[in-house]
Every structure is written in structure tokens, then in C-alpha cells.
Structure 1
Amino acid sequence: MITAEHLTRRYGTRAVVDDVSFTARPGRVTGFLGPNGAGKSTTMRMLTGLTTPTSGRATILGSPFRELANPGRRVGVLLDASAQHAGRTGREVLHLSARLMGLRPGRVEEVLATVGLTTSEAGARTRTYSLGMRQRLGLAHALLGEPEVLILDEPVNGLDPAGIRWMRALLGDFADAGGTVLLSSHLLREVEAVADDLVIIGSGRVVAQGSVEELLATPGTQVHSLDDDSLARALTAAGHEVTRAGAGLTTSATAEEVGRTALGAAVVLTDLRPSAATGLEDLFFDTTAQHGREEAAA
């Protein structure tokens, strides 16, 4: 589990992160979203002990990251895939970390196979790696200690479509096995495909959080009938909002309220269903529009 409690980080009078609180739970993937400059990276650095909060507290598995014994065995972190020793091979980078963590023999080869780095790629200097290969090596490093928690910042950058699909499956399997995943990405459709929960921040503050199902649900009902005009008048008279939606109506009334109103107005219903859920892209822009650079420049 990851817990952020009123995290704040100030530089002078400017609050880069301002009173951020959320929980990422075991067995779930939590998407951590926000525009550039929203404070995502600073928050993740505070979670992993790289930046000290001005105020507030962050814990992972019940303790601050810096207080975890052999933290690589508990928490896998990928914040910057390019932060690799350019003169070492991918295998050497992993072997060094494996020795520091006291891992069993053979673990390096296991994670290399898991992330899909071939024998020749693992034996090449990291300076020759493509961005996608760096991402795979960074994820191998995060998985090396067989952790209970993963904290990943933009892990799919540079991956081709097959690699993105592979990453989605890997994170889903990790969570299904009881692990905790905090995932930051600008690829909203990929986050929507894999995340169970969302935390969205803008200008350093949380602007929305909850389960994907809750946040993307659209209240109201879509209805078609043999007499939409009469049904619309009856629903409006009952105090519900009604708008035209193609060949039918969308209303703020629940399905039960629509059914009772239609019965009272002697209108035959031909279709009745909850309103279609909104997409993550719409939710993201609705909640962060005032915090993005593009909005400021418009």
C-alpha cells in the first residue's frame, strides 16, 4: 500500500505540490495523472525518499521509504529510464543491484526474460540502447527484488504497440497477484485500459480521485419511447432535466423514475439504459483544463 498524507513541497513561496493525499491499494493499479508541471514527478520523488516534503507524510507498506530495510526488495521504482550507467551493459547494471540486494542466483536472467531483453541486448552497453530498450531495462530493475509495490513514471514511453500491450498485461498480472501499482503516464487510453483507480492532479493539488468506474460513470438515463415529446414533458414536469439525444432522450432521472413517469403518462418505452460512461480523456481535460499549459496559452 502507498499512502500520501497532505504532501506539500514548496520552493520559496511556490507550492509545487500542495496538500496532496491519496492511497494506492494492494491488488489494484492506480493511475496518477496530470498535465506537465502538475507536480506528479515531485510527488513520486517524495514517495520514494528522493525529495523531502515541506510538510505532510508519505508511507509505503506502512513506513517512509527511507526507513524500509533493503527497500529494493519491497518497492520497485522506475522514475527515469535514461538514468543508467552508459558504460555498463544491461546485465552488469542488474547484477550490481542484485548483489547489493542479496538476491538469489539466476534472478537477473529471470527478469531479463520477463522484460524481453535478448542475450545480445543484455550484453550491450546501455549507451547503445533505444528508448524502448531503456524502458525494459528500467522495468527489469524495478522487478528485480520481487517487490510488493511498483512506482512507475511513464514506463511505456518508447515502446511499440506490442510492447505497450505487453506492459499492460504485466502490470495487470502484478496487481492480480496482490501487488500495488502506482502508474503515471500521458497515454490516457493505456491508463484507462489498465487502471482500477485514478488520482488526477493539477497545479499541485488533487482535482479528482476514485475508482475508474465511479469517475467515468455518467449520471442519468438514456431512453427511447413511442412518444418522446410527451415523455419529455412529463419528465420535465416531474422536475427532471431532459435533453434530446439522437432519436431519444437523455435525462437526469434514474431508470426507475423514468419508468414510473412513463407509466403515469401512458407512454410506451422501447429502450431504457444508464447514460453512456464518459471517457478518461474527457474526464482528464474537464478536470485539468485550467491547469494545463495549452489552456494558459490559448
Structure 2
Amino acid sequence: MITATNLTKRYRNSPAVDDVSFSAEPGRITGFLGPNGAGKSTTMRMLVGLAKPTSGSSSVLGVPFRSLDNPGRHVGVLLDAGAQHPGRTGRESLALSAQLMGMPAGRADDVLEIVGLTAKEGAGRLRGYSLGMRQRLGLANALLGDPAVLILDEPSNGLDPAGIRWMRGVLTSFAASGGTVLLSSHLLLEVEAVADDLVIIGRGRVLAKGSAAELLAAKGTSVRSLDDNALSRALTVAGFDVTRVADGLSTSASVDDVGRIALGAAIVVTDLHPASNAGLEELFFAMTAQHGRGDVPA
């Protein structure tokens, strides 16, 4: 489990992160989203002890990250896939980390296989790795200690479609086994496909948080009738919001309310159903419109 409580980070008088609180639960994938400069990376760095908060606190598995004994055995971290020695081979990099963690020497080969890097690729120098290969190696490092928690910043960056699909499977399997995943990504469709919970921030503050199902659930009803003008008037008189859409009406009234009002007004309804769920992209831009530069989130 990951918990952030009123985390704040100021640089001089400018808040990079401002009173951020959320939790990421075991057995679930939490998508951590926001525009460029929203404070995601700074928050993640505070969670893993790489930045000291100005105020507030955080814990991983119930204690501050720096209090964990041999933290790599408990928390897998991928914040920058390029932060590795270019002259080492992939396997050497993993073997050194395994030695520091007290893991068996063969663990390096195990995780190379898990992330889909061949023995030949593992023997290659990192300076020759593509971005996608570096991402796979970074995830291998995160998984090396067989952790209970993963904290990942843009793990799918540079992966081809097959690699993105593979990454989705790795994360969902990890969570299904009881692991906790905190995932930051600008690939909104991929986050929508895997996230159980969402935290959206802008200009350092939490804009929305909760289960993905709740946040993406559209409220109200879509309806078509033989006389949409009359139905719109009847719904408005009853105190509900009504909007004209291409295929009829969208209203804040429930399905039951619409049916009751249409019956009372003797209007024949030809289609009636709850409004379709909003997509994550729609939710993201609605939430962050005033908190970014219109950039793709990072």
C-alpha cells in the first residue's frame, strides 16, 4: 500500500506539489495522471525518498520508504529508464543490483526472461539499447527483488503496440497477485484499460481521485422520443437539465424519472438508456483544462 498525506514540495516560493493526499491499495492499479508540470514526478520522487517534502508525509507498506530494510526487496521503482551505466550489459546491471539486494545470482536471468529480453540482448551494452529495450530493462530492475509494490513513471514509453500490450499483462498480473501498482503515463487509453483507481493532479493539487468506474461513470440519461421538443419542456419544468444531442436528448434525470415524465405528458419514447460512460481522455481534459498548457500529459 502507498499513502501520501498532505504532501507539499516548494522550490523557493513556488509550490511544485501542494497538499497532495491519496492512497494506492493492494491488488489494484492506480493511474496517476496530470499535465506536464503538474507535480507527478516530484510526488513520486518524494514517495521513494529521492526528494524531501516541505511538509506532509508518505508511507509505503506502512512505513516511510527510507525506513524500509533493503527497499528493493519490497518496492520496485522505475522513474527513469535511461539512468543506467551505458557501458554495462543489461545482465551485468541486473546482476549488480541482485547482489546488492541479496538475491540469488540467477535472478537476473529470471527477470530478463520475464520482461522479454533475450540472452543475446541481455549480453548487449546499454549504449546500444533502444528506448523500448531500456524500458524493459528498467522494469526488470523494478521486479528484481520480487517486490509487493511497483512505482512506475511512464513504463510504456518507447514500447511498440505489442510491447504495450505485454506491459498491460505484466501489470494486471502483478496486481491480481495482490501487488500494489502506482502508474504514471501519458498513454490515457492504456491507463483506462488497466487502472482500477485514478488520481488526477494539476498545478500540484489533486483535482480528482477515486475508483475509475466511479469517475468515468456518466450521470443522467439519453432519450429519444416522437416529440423531443415537448419532452425537453416537460423535463425542464420538472427541474432537470436537458441538452440537445445529435441523437435526441441528454438529461440529468434518471431513467425512471424520464419514463414517468414522458408517460405523464403522453409522449412516446423510442429509446431510453443511462448515459454512456465518459472516456478517460474526456475526463482528463475536462479536469485539467485550467491547469496545463493543452499539452499531452506526462
Q: Which TM-score band (shorter chain)?
A: over 0.9
TM-score w.r.t. the length of structure 2 is 0.96
Q: Secondary structure of 1:6's partner?
A: strand
- The letter for the 2-side match of 1:229 is N
1:125 and 1:193 mapped to 2: Cα distance?
34
- The letter for the 2-side match of 1:168 is R
In the other structure, the counterpart of 1:257 is: 257
TM-score w.r.t. the length of structure 1 is 0.96
Change (3 A) 1:272 1:7: same
In the other structure, the counterpart of 2:217 is: 217
Q: Secondary structure of 2:289's partner?
A: helix
**What is the CA deviation profile of residues 23-51 of structure 1, one whole-angstrom value per residue up to 9, with x for unaligned ones?**
01111111111111111111000000011
**What is the CA deviation profile of residues 226-265 of structure 1, one whole-angstrom value per residue up to 9, with x for unaligned ones?**
3323322221111111122223211110111111112212
1:105 shift after superposition = 4.2
- The letter for the 2-side match of 1:141 is N
**Greater Cα offset, 257-266 or 6-15:** 257-266
1:190 shift after superposition = 1.0
1:178 and 1:254 mapped to 2: Cα distance?
37
Is the CA contact (8 Å cut-off) linking 2:224 and 2:271 kept in structure 1? Answer: yes
1:232 and 1:51 mapped to 2: Cα distance?
55
Alignment of 1:19-30 (within 5 A): 19-30=19-30
Change (3 A) 1:247 1:89: closer
Alignment partner of 1:52 is 2:52: yes
Alignment of 1:77-156 (within 5 A): 77-156=77-156
Q: Gaps spanning 5+ residues in structure 1: where?
A: none
In the other structure, the counterpart of 2:37 is: 37
**Greater Cα offset, 143-152 or 225-234:** 225-234
1:275 and 1:261 mapped to 2: Cα distance?
18
2:151 and 2:285 mapped to 1: Cα distance?
24
1:15 and 1:231 mapped to 2: Cα distance?
50
1:96 and 1:242 mapped to 2: Cα distance?
63
Alignment partner of 1:180 is 2:174: no
2:120 and 2:247 mapped to 1: Cα distance?
60
Q: Secondary structure of 1:291's partner?
A: coil
1:247 and 1:70 mapped to 2: Cα distance?
59
- The letter for the 2-side match of 1:195 is A
- The letter for the 2-side match of 1:104 is P
Q: Secondary structure of 2:103's partner?
A: coil
**Greater Cα offset, 215-224 or 58-67:** 215-224
| Matched residues, number | 295
In the other structure, the counterpart of 1:241 is: 241
Q: Secondary structure of 1:293's partner?
A: coil
Is the CA contact (8 Å cut-off) linking 2:236 and 2:242 kept in structure 1? Answer: yes
2:209 and 2:137 mapped to 1: Cα distance?
31
Is the CA contact (8 Å cut-off) linking 2:27 and 2:175 kept in structure 1? Answer: yes
1:293 shift after superposition = 2.7
- The letter for the 1-side match of 2:8 is T
Aligned residues: percent identity? 70
RMSD: 1.2
- The letter for the 2-side match of 1:270 is T
Q: Secondary structure of 2:124's partner?
A: coil
Q: Gaps spanning 5+ residues in structure 2: where?
A: none
- The letter for the 1-side match of 2:196 is D
In the other structure, the counterpart of 1:285 is: 285
In the other structure, the counterpart of 1:169 is: 169
1:232 and 1:204 mapped to 2: Cα distance?
41
- The letter for the 1-side match of 2:126 is T
**Greater Cα offset, 205-214 or 99-108:** 99-108
**Greater Cα offset, 241-250 or 65-74:** 241-250
**What is the CA deviation profile of residues 142-196 of structure 1, one whole-angstrom value per residue up to 9, with x for unaligned ones?**
0011110000001011100100011011111111111110000111111111111
Is the CA contact (8 Å cut-off) linking 2:95 and 2:105 kept in structure 1? Answer: no
1:36 and 1:228 mapped to 2: Cα distance?
43
